Structure 1
């Protein structure tokens, strides 16, 4: 890397992390500030927009104070699908922020069933409450018609600089972006009842958009990117065939597909990875809604004292004791798209301990990532060269070893859990220096640990089959489609079987469900 230090800010679901990144010395300052989303009955998840902005300022100022040096630019990563209405004249929020996990727009999605194929072709996204457009439409229908309604990044950028913009990758998370033209789609806007809305200007991710004084001295804001794509940039700059999975509030597996739009058949999302200096890179995207949030759920029940206890408690037993945990506490995302499915714990007995529950959660998370990886393999025609992992839960050796065991591939853990900040820092650097190349802007990939599989393929497939059977049972109880299914597969479950290991999947089952693990 070259140039001066940059401030990279990652505004996330449960907090904001800021790093001062020096091209020679690496991370020289860091700051964090919490965000406390409200989890309400009926699948509602809200946050106070002012808390989001205040956390950005607090974390950024703390990082700069620790670094004790000037920076040349700022980059901002955002949550992607979190939305709010706000007054463009004053910058004041008019609603709470509806967080990406929020499911209140499920009924609105059901109303669009006749248009779901058209919308998916236009935008690359299924019709599902996870994405921004349904939540934006819900706000317009039920909350307010005033001001503008946008993803949270547009509001944050406006508060920081006065600009009214969003980057191409974040725009691609709305369900309103034409995947071919990278412009707002009039047809999609009309279907969602958002025709005539004033929407932010779509810019390259490395575009200088204005100057902010929120962190003290005036600083140019030169990098914008949605969080998971920022993490992908940091982890695949040296290997376009690698896949990355971020283990945070949810788990998010992304893999690059190249410069052309990729419309999927596997239940994954095909979307914009980034647009840098006018050149677009596309990617595949799969989600697990509840990961750290499932750990928090176990913590609230008293099973754990926190994520730091996963390995200690899970290490008290050798296996799950026959317990299967499907942690669909906010529904099943890709490749099932079954927002109506809820989590389950089965196989409980009088001998079930806390350790069994923790191990079952790790298996439930890892099994979903296996099926996402299988979908990537089916879409690209070859398995990833590696699964690169980042996020706070990569600190759990138990979860990472379980992932390697079920995937039957090595899992490479990032040296820093803050890959999102590293990625958006690289984008900010590119926006500040038009002569800088991508390979010089992104820190060299170097894993802190590599987890190799320790079990046989047969054992991995047996454990995966048990999980898949429970998913199929849950989906069958709620029936096909369900509320806000967004075009879910008919049976709503991964089935059949490609065994874990190397090679090529046997194909995609009818309706878009993904078979088995990576062969």
Structure 2
């Protein structure tokens, strides 16, 4: 059977048709660009988002020229909107996961922070769904339902009102241990009485659609980062992957038991397939490809393909903390801003580009260290995917600063391929997720070249720059 996998992301929507032997039959992509506002607002047009899903899906199927049995959707995870359940009409913009306008909602819940974090495995931060839902209710509309984008997209396709376990676990509204909506948490966020979608496993068929042409089943729903965790064969405790996309997202599988982080990471559901739930730790860097786009907007590069040719081999002492949308794990400081330090009159374009790439790698290394602390043992390697893995300069910097071999996934479409595997296990109850995924082999491996001493010195300097740039007198989640 062939399946259609849709990866609905922040910067665009991809649709892949994948044969049952894993062969990629077609790819279609539609770019999307969020709107950024003063005050930390980040929004998307729901109509454009839905059009991108339908248009890319139809193009991919037309190009593949083969019948498709099922479609899966990988979603952004924490982006939300209000919409009318009767008509499906959106009642608000999509409030994107990067949006920071819900910070006051989190501040108001500070006395309940420990209780919320213990129950959900997450950090009380506006990155997650519930604060944005609360802000939307307070500032945009009280009408309709307010959900993550996946529920709206699936409703448009099938009429069902559902979300999956991985997405629910990213909301601050679900109990991590039992996986269900928590009435007390809903009340805390001012969402008591809201109509919440049914939570389904990641191998569930939720309906059918003819939106892409011939009728096909819809199932295997999953968060984008958990989809790439599957694609990278991170199925057992201690395996970890890192996706370099709009941001950087490191997830490490922790097995059948959730691990509450002691150093500012979050814990959520990795997947629930064949009635078996696995959990993962994760940490985020808010700006990666978006930092590269900033370089592009300034005219320092014409596009990501120029990164390796224009970046200097040595940043010559320049350091960048690319906190253009704040610092996520392990700091959780939305008030942090980006900075450059160590520059002189001899610092040129190449050194600035190199500093941005090394800054992204340095933040990633902080996530690796936090993951190792929580796991209680070292990682043997870091499996990576996403569009920015095309930059060998960035991947080498990541290997140098983490001290780990960096294994690059052979496709830039890991999320969609993980979603395709979910669609297969949803459609074919007799196969395992391992069979649906097929074999794994990295396209290339970057071994660390820097000495431990050099990496340590760089990271200490970078960390000092990051700490020096934090506004004082504000609560740090790690305290």
1:328 pairs, out of 313, 323, 327, with 323
1:390 paired residue among 374, 385, 393: 385
Structure 1 position 321, deviation (Å): 1.4
Q: Check conservation: 2:4, 2:18, Cα contact below 8 A.
A: yes
Question: What is residue 410 of structure 2 aligned with on the other side?
Answer: 415
Structure-2 residue corresponding to 1:193: 190
Do residues 251 (structure 1) and 245 (structure 2) align?
Answer: no
In structure 2, list runs of 5 or more residues that go unmatched: none
Aligned counterpart, 2:477: 488
Aligned twin of 2:307: 310
Contact kept in structure 1, 2:81 and 2:94, CA below 8 Å: yes
State how far apart, in whole Å, the 1-side matches of 2:338 and 2:191 are: 33
Distance 2:46 2:184 in 1: 29
Distance 1:323 1:420 in 2: 34
Matched, 1:163 2:152: no
**Deviation readout 1:336-381 (Å, 9 max, x if unpaired):** 1011111101122211111101110111101111111111111111
The match for 1:427 among 422, 439, 442 is 422
Q: Contact between 2:365 and 2:401, CA under 8 Å: does it hold in 1?
A: yes
User: Residue 46 of structure 1: CA displacement?
Assistant: 0.2
Unaligned runs of 5+ in 1: 482-486, 490-510, 512-519
Query: Which residue of the partner structure matches residue 403 of structure 1?
Result: 398
Asked if the contact 2:234–2:253 (Cα under 8 Å) also holds between the matched residues in 1, the reply is no
SS in 1 for 2:174: coil
Q: Deviation at 1:238?
A: 6.2
> Is 1:344 matched up with 2:339?
yes
2:352 to 357, 371, 392: 357
Partner of 2:461: 466
- TM alignment of 1:194-343, pairs within 5 A: 194-237=191-234, 240-314=237-311, 317-343=312-338
Residue of structure 2 equivalent to 1:437:
432
Q: Deviations over 1:174-196 (max 9, x none)?
A: 11001111110111111101001
* TM, length-normalised to structure 1: 0.91
Residue 478 of structure 1, CA deviation: 3.4
1:124 aligns with 2:121: yes
Query: Within 2, Cα distance between the matches of 1:115 and 1:24?
Result: 49
Could you tell me how far apart the structure 2 residues matched to 1:194 and 1:468 are? 38
The SS at the match of 2:232 is helix
Offset at residue 304 of structure 1 (A): 1.0
> How far apart are residue 479 of structure 1 and its match?
3.0
Contact 2:234 2:252 in 1 (8 A): no
| Equivalent residues of 1:335, 1:372 under 8 A apart | yes
The 8 Å contact of residues 253 and 270 in structure 2, kept in 1 or not, is answered as: yes
For 1:190 and 1:182, the matched residues in 2 are separated by 17
Q: Helix, strand or coil for the counterpart of 1:340?
A: coil
Q: Aligned residue for 2:362?
A: 367
Asked if the contact 1:237–1:439 (Cα under 8 Å) also holds between the matched residues in 2, the reply is no
Cα displacement (A) at 1:480: 3.0
Contact 2:236 2:253 in 1 (8 A): no
| Higher mean C-alpha deviation, range 32-41 or range 79-88 | 32-41
**What is the CA RMSD across the aligned residues, in angstroms?**
1.1
CA displacement at 1:239 relative to structure 2: 5.5
Q: Report Cα offsets for 1:155-210 as digits up to 9, x if no partner.
A: 00000100000000000111100111111011111110100100000000110001
Query: In structure 2, what is the equivalent of residue 44 of structure 1?
Result: 41
Whole-angstrom CA distance in 2 between matches of 1:6 and 1:291:
30
Q: In the alignment, which residue of structure 2 is the partner of 1:499?
A: none
Distance 1:247 1:302 in 2: 22
Q: Render the CA deviation track for 1:276-325: whole Å, top value 9, x for unaligned.
A: 122111000100000000000111111111111100110xx331111110
* Residue 25 (structure 1) shift: 5.5
